[in-house]
Amino acid sequence: MKLIFATFLLVCLVLSSSFFEASMAGSEFCDSKCKVRCSKAGVQDRCLKYCNICCEKCHCVPSGTYGNKDECPCYRDLKNSKGHPKCP
């Protein structure tokens, strides 16, 4: 009985850790939208980082590579610690 319980706990631990990694990896929606948004950025890795942060919070990314932020008010209104726009 103890062996079955231990096996069950081990399986639950493995499944929960793989689920946690998948959820931390970012959504396919945000990855694809941010790839388009940052396609012409000078510093791509930074653009993708902040775009994904904003997308995860707001669940949207404005169309195009620049501007159009009125399409997504949450994305538009996020500010960094200095009061400047956080989202590319």
Q: What residue spans define the domains of the chain?
A: 29-87
Of 6-10, 49-53, 73-77, which range is least confident? 6-10
Whether 24 shows a pLDDT value over 50: the answer reads no
Q: Name residue, tokens 């990896």.
A: 25
Tokens representing residue 72 in the block: 């997504």
Q: Name residue, tokens 């994305």.
A: 75
Q: What is the pTM of this model?
A: 0.69
> Model confidence over 34-70: pLDDT tens digits?
999 999 999 999 999 999 999 999 999 999 999 999 9
Residue 25 pLDDT level (bands cut at 50, 70, 90)? very low
Structure-model confidence comparison of residues 35 and 4, the more confident one: 35
Tell whether the torsion through CA atoms of 74, 87, 62 and 28 is positive or negative.
negative
